[in-house]
Structure formats: C-alpha cells, structure tokens
C-alpha cells in the first residue's frame, strides 16, 4: 500500500486529555477539566430532551438535507435556507470545504497559533499550506502579512475569530481593510466557533452581516450550546458554495439525534444567556485574581473574547512544570505546545468552583 508522503507525515489532532485517563493515572476522585473550551454547564437541557425524544427512531436514517434544522437556522439568522450548510461539527464542514473546492496546485494560507483542527485537515491534502506568523506582541492575526502571501494559486484563507487558542480577535475595521484586498476568487473561511461569546462587543465583526460571496462563516453547536459530543455545526455562504458542500458531505451527516438536538438548542435562550453570564463572571474573576499577581510573578494574561483565556508564562519549562503540578491536583489545563506556543497555557472558563480550584493551585505553583 503506497501512502502519500503528506499523509505519512501528518501529525494527528491531539485533544485535551480525557478526565478518565487523568483520574486513573493520578488516582484522583475529583477532576476539573478546563482544557477543551467545552460548556461547563453541560449540554443545553432542551437539546438533551429533544435528542432523547428521537432516540426511538434511530433505526431510520436522518434527513439528508437537514431541512428542519436549516429552516430554523435560516429563521434565526434571517437568511435563506439555501445559504446554509450543516455537517458533522464545524470541522466536518471545513473538511467538506477542502474536498469541494481545492484543485491540484491550489494553495491555502492561515496564521500560526490558530485552531489545530484546520491545520490537520489542510496538511492532509497534497496542496501547499502556508502559516503566517502572528503579531507577537498582542497574539493577533497579522492580516496584512496574510495579504502579502496571496498569489495566483491561493484558493483558501482560514481565519478564526475569536481565535483559538489566543482568545484574541481582529476588529471590524481590521477585517474591512483586509477583505477589500482579498481577490474575489479566494475563499475565506471565517471560523466563528466562539461567536456567541464575542457577538455583544461592538468592535467584533460578525462575518455573516457582510454577505460576501467569497466568505463562508462557520459556527458550531459544540461550544455555547454544549453538544460537542453530538458533532454538529453549520455554515453560511453563497448559495452555490453551500449547495456544493451539501452535495459533497457524507450523505447522512449529521445524525438524526444531532439534528434534533441542534433544532432545540437554538431555542434554548435561557441556557445560552446563563452560559454567557457564567463565562463573563469567570473571565472577570480570572482577570481580577490573575491581575493581582501577574506583575510580581512575571506572566502575561492575554485579553480574551471567547470562553477561554491564554496565559503567557514566558518559557516552556515553566509550562511543563505547572501542567504536571496541576494534573496531580486534578485540574486539567491545556499547555499550548501543539499550537506552536510552548510558553503558553490555555484555561477554559469553568464553573465557579473550577475557576477557584484553578486560581488556588495557580497561586501555589507559579
């Protein structure tokens, strides 16, 4: 069997470590997992109820066109159903975008220190993939540098806003300056997995509002809606692009439980509001507590627009030591070596008691 070189060299996606694994390794009862940007409140209760109610119909295949869900999304965001695609998570849609539009010789551009899931998908193709360095002072995408890398072969640009793992955004005016310089035949993927945490900020560009023919906006039910395990995401874009993605996707993705859960989750306003509030409170708590010691202990807190926060600890040794100490105490955080930031860690805003556990341990170890 001949395996292509780019597949042989592919490094698989490394997720945050699972709770059960850490429990076993360190003999711990209680674990606080604030590593994977999941909703600490659990899944949307309305989604769970809807998913259970369709479980008895699991012998049937799901609706290929996901019409009920797409109709609901269309209504909520005031777009036409033909401008919406769905898939097995927003990552599933990303995979379908690459399958749909990349031809031999086409190139892709993104930034360093962004979502690894896209990097894995991009490297799983024979196409050239360019990662442009970030602005190192503020950990933001360097959109001007990305523009400079566009050439005749560029087909796809991947942007993540707010960005995982830095939590930073590019603003409306930065996006405006960027997009007007992107040729119309270059497809821009705007990954807005953390949209709901940033949407209330006036400087945040909601890419859906631009209605651009060469931009696909991706969102997910994995974050604020809390159904990451169901694997369902959605995208907005030009009719022709969305039709293509829907044609190329696995016929029966997403599954019928996922579709039912997503339909119900969209209506779970109470849960979304509660999740936003918990996140905001957690963020303010972290900023206040970490702000008190960051000068003296020599680390940086990077302001975040998402449900997680990045800390720059200065060097990889410090990250490794602190990560190991945290694991022993049953707190799972995310060291960012795999993102090319070995001197940084990422923490997800958790429940109040999880946030307190983090702060107490952090003060001890730092």
Ligand X SMILES: Cc1ncc(COP(=O)(O)O)c(C=O)c1O
Binding site for ligand X (CB under 6 A): 37, 89-91, 115, 117, 160, 164, 191, 193, 220, 222, 228, 233
Nearest-approach distance from CB 90 to ligand X, in angstroms: 4
Nearest-approach distance from CB 245 to ligand X, in angstroms: 14
Nearest-approach distance from CB 15 to ligand X, in angstroms: 9
In order of 23, 159, 162, 201, 298, the CA distances from 189 in angstroms are 38, 6, 13, 21, 36
Whether residue 91 is preceded by a cis peptide bond, meaning omega within 30 degrees of 0, is no
Nearest-approach distance from CB 165 to ligand X, in angstroms: 8
Considering beta carbons, is residue 160 or 263 the nearer one to ligand X?
160
Nearest-approach distance from CB 295 to ligand X, in angstroms: 30
Considering beta carbons, is residue 160 or 278 the nearer one to ligand X?
160
Nearest-approach distance from CB 160 to ligand X, in angstroms: 5
Helix axes 256-266, 45-54, angle to 10 degrees: 150
Nearest-approach distance from CB 85 to ligand X, in angstroms: 13
Considering beta carbons, is residue 65 or 229 the nearer one to ligand X?
229
- Helix, strand, coil tally for the chain in percent (to 5): 45, 15, 40
Considering beta carbons, is residue 86 or 366 the nearer one to ligand X?
86
Considering beta carbons, is residue 164 or 256 the nearer one to ligand X?
164
In order of 132, 133, 134, 143, 283, the CA distances from 310 in angstroms are 20, 17, 15, 21, 11
Nearest-approach distance from CB 217 to ligand X, in angstroms: 12
Beta carbons of 190 and 159 less than 8 angstroms apart: yes
Considering beta carbons, is residue 167 or 282 the nearer one to ligand X?
167
What's the token pair of residue 353? 């008691």
Q: How many CA atoms lie within 13 A of 313 on its CB side?
A: 23
DSSP code for 35: S
Beta bridge partners of 129: 108
How far apart CA 213 and CA 282 sit, in angstroms, is: 37
Considering beta carbons, is residue 37 or 361 the nearer one to ligand X?
37
Q: What is the phi/psi pair of residue 241, to 5°?
A: -70, -45
Residue 10: burial class (beta carbons within 10 Å; 0-12, 13-18, 19+): middle
Q: CB atoms < 10 A from the CB of 345, how many?
A: 24
Considering beta carbons, is residue 43 or 89 the nearer one to ligand X?
89
Considering beta carbons, is residue 115 or 286 the nearer one to ligand X?
115
In the chain, which residue ranges form alpha helices assigned H by DSSP?
5-8, 19-26, 45-54, 67-77, 89-101, 116-123, 143-149, 172-179, 195-198, 239-248, 256-266, 269-297, 316-328, 352-365
What's the token pair of residue 147? 């523009």
Nearest-approach distance from CB 340 to ligand X, in angstroms: 15
Considering beta carbons, is residue 289 or 334 the nearer one to ligand X?
334
Q: Which residue is nearest to ligand X (CB)?
A: 89
Beta carbons of 157 and 186 less than 8 angstroms apart: yes
Nearest-approach distance from CB 91 to ligand X, in angstroms: 3
């Amino acid at each position: 069997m001949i395996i292509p070189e780019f597949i042989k060299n592919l490094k698989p996606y490394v997720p945050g470590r699972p709770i059960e694994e850490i429990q076993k390794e360190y003999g711990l009862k209680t674990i606080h997992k604030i590593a994977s940007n999941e909703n600490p409140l659990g899944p949307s209760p309305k989604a769970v109820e809807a998913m259970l109610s369709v479980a008895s119909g699991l012998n049937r295949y799901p609706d290929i066109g996901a019409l009920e869900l797409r109709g609901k999304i269309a209504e909520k965001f005031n777009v036409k159903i033909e401008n919406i695609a769905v898939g097995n998570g927003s990552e599933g849609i990303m995979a379908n975008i690459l399958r749909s539009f990349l031809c031999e010789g086409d190139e892709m551009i993104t930034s360093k220190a962004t979502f690894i899931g896209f990097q894995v998908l991009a490297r799983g193709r024979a196409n050239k993939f360019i990662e442009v360095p970030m602005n190192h002072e503020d950990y933001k995408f360097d959109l001007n540098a990305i523009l400079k890398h566009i050439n005749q072969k560029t087909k796809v640009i991947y942007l993540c806003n707010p960005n995982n793992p830095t939590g930073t955004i590019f603003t409306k005016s930065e996006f405006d300056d960027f997009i007007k310089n992107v040729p119309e035949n270059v497809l821009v993927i705007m990954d807005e997995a953390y949209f709901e945490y940033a949407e209330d900020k006036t400087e945040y560009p909601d890419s859906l509002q631009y209605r651009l023919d060469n931009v696909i906006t991706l969102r997910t039910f994995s974050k604020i809606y809390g159904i990451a395990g169901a694997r369902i995401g959605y995208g907005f874009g030009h009719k022709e692009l969305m039709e293509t993605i829907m044609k190329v996707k696995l016929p029966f993705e997403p599954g019928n439980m996922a579709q039912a859960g997503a339909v119900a989750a969209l209506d779970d306003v109470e849960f979304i509001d509660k999740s936003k509030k918990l996140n905001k409170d957690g963020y303010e708590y972290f900023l206040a507590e970490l702000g008190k010691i960051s000068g003296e202990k020599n680390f940086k807190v990077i302001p975040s627009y998402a449900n997680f926060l990045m800390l720059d600890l200065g060097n990889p040794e410090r990250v490794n030591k602190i990560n190991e100490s945290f694991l022993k105490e049953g707190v799972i955080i995310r060291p960012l070596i795999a993102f090319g930031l070995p001197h940084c860690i990422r923490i997800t805003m958790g429940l109040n008691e999880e946030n307190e556990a983090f702060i107490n341990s952090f003060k001890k170890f730092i």
